[in-house]
Amino acid sequence: MKKFNDMAAQGDILIRRIDSLPAGLVEEGTSKEESGKFIVAHSETGHHHVIDRKGTKFYTDPKNSMVAYIIVAKEFADLIHKRAFDTHEALRLTPGTYEVRRQREWAPEGWRQVQD
| Measured CA angle at 17 (ends 13, 21), to 5 deg | 100
| Measured CA angle at 1 (ends 71, 51), to 5 deg | 35
Q: Residue 69 — pLDDT band, cuts 50, 70, 90?
A: very high
Domain boundaries, the chain: 2-103
Q: How far is Cα 7 from Cα 45, in angstroms, rounded to an integer?
A: 26
pTM for the full model?
0.78
* Residues sharing a CB contact under 8 Å with residue 32, sequence separation 6 or more, in sequence order: 38, 39, 58
Which residues make beta-bridge pairs with 3?
A: 92
Decide which of 84 and 17 is more confident: 17
